[in-house]
Amino acid sequence: MTQDLHKEARRKAASLSIWKGTVEPELLGAGITNINFKVVDVGEAYVVRIGGDIPEHGISRQSEIASCRAAIGAGVAPELLHLEPGIQVSRFIDGRTYGEADVREQANLERIVPVLKRLHREAPRHLRGAAPLFWVFHVLRDYAGRMADDRHRLVASLPRLMGIAQELEDAVGPIRLVFGHNDLLPANIIDDGQRIWLIDWDYAGFNSPLFDLGGLASNNQLSSEQEHWLLEAYFERPPDDDLLNRYGAMKCASLLREAMWSMIQERYSSLDFDYVAYTAENLDRFERALADWRGQA
């Protein structure tokens, strides 16, 4: 099935009317949501992103494109060059795609934080149309409802997980809205040697800054010392107990969301990826973070 998907996606990428010559799309990575290709046409390199709406994850390509344009306006995303239904073509960034270890390097963190602050503060000035919103606790409730409807293999765990989600939402409390990326996996960060770029805007929307900060920390396994530095660098003041508690709750929520995202993928995705293992990995990270947070409260 995956081979057929890739074959059809490659055919679409190769047949776009914008190409000046014959192109041979090159698959970029394995991909766990979309299918992406690098295309070189007359010496210029592009990324072709193939993927339609994904209702089970709340992904609307119209919102993604609006978010991407806002991020481009803020100067943190590569230029978007061509659009067709289910297809986006952007400028290829010749740089290093980060891994977790790259994000954990202090010098890199010091470059990432200003990019996040710029996105959070400046992207809303460039956003047009309906305002996308990403509230992780709504996402978790929606995932739970879908899992219950589908009689998912982990449906028996839902009452406990949703009880924890409510505990975390109460702990986060009132928030300040910013425009967030909301999916800060290391693979969505590219370093061209001069600047940091953010890619993949599927889940972008208004949110608390704590979600991007917690996601950055949890997805890249930052140390507690780095997390304290991250909060102080972002908020420009040492974090007090209240901020640490709210941040810790949001970090746990980000991990629970990643785990439940994978649970949904187990049932809906046709891509060749071990989502069961990914679910287990993120549930383990979530449980450890939850124990740490409760121990510090």
Write the pLDDT tens digit of every residue in 2-11. Answer: 677 889 999 9
Mean pLDDT of 278-288: 96
Residue 275 and residue 202 share a domain: yes
Write the pLDDT tens digit of every residue in 176-208. Answer: 999 999 999 999 999 999 999 999 999 999 999
Burial (CB < 10 A; 0-12, 13-18, 19+), residue 113, is middle
Q: Which residues pair with 49 in a beta bridge?
A: 36, 88
Where is the domain boundary, 27, 57, 91? Answer: 91
Per-residue confidence (pLDDT) for residue 2, from 0 to 100: 60
Tokens 């690098």 map to which residue?
38
Residue 110 and residue 220 share a domain: yes
Q: What percent of the chain has pLDDT over 70?
A: 98
Range of the domain at 109: 96-296
Q: How far is CA 10 from CA 7, 82, 118, 164, 241, in A?
A: 5, 16, 35, 42, 51
Residue 182 and residue 129 share a domain: yes
Band of the pLDDT at 33, cuts 50, 70, 90? confident
Write the pLDDT tens digit of every residue in 217-256. Answer: 999 999 999 999 999 999 999 999 999 999 999 999 999 9
Reduced 3-state DSSP string for the chain: CHHHHHHHHHHHHHCCCCCCCCCCCEECCCCCCCEEEEEEECCEEEEEEECCCEHHHCECHHHHHHHHHHHHHCCCCCCEEEEECCEEEEECCCCEECCHHHHHCHHHHHHHHHHHHHHHHHHHHHCCCCCCECCHHHHHHHHHHHHHHHCCCCHHHHHHHHHHHHHHHHHHCCCCCEEECCCCCHHHEEECCCCEEECCCCCCEEECHHHHHHHHHHHHCCCHHHHHHHHHHHHCCCCCHHHHHHHHHHHHHHHHHHHHHHHHHHHHCCCCCCHHHHHHHHHHHHHHHHHHHHHHC
Q: What is the CATH number of the domain that holds 164?
A: 3.90.1200.10
Q: Which residues pair with 196 in a beta bridge?
A: 191
Whole-prediction pTM value? Answer: 0.94
Q: What is the CATH number of the domain that holds 60?
A: 3.30.200.20
Residue 133 and residue 65 share a domain: no
Residue 224 and residue 80 share a domain: no
Where is the domain boundary, 39, 69, 91? Answer: 91
Residue 9 and residue 121 share a domain: no
Number of domains in the chain: 2
Where is the domain boundary, 91, 121, 148? Answer: 91
Helices 241-268 and 275-296 cross at an angle (nearest 10°) of 160
Residue 100 and residue 87 share a domain: no
Q: How far is the C-alpha of 202 from the C-alpha of 51, rounded, in Å?
A: 10
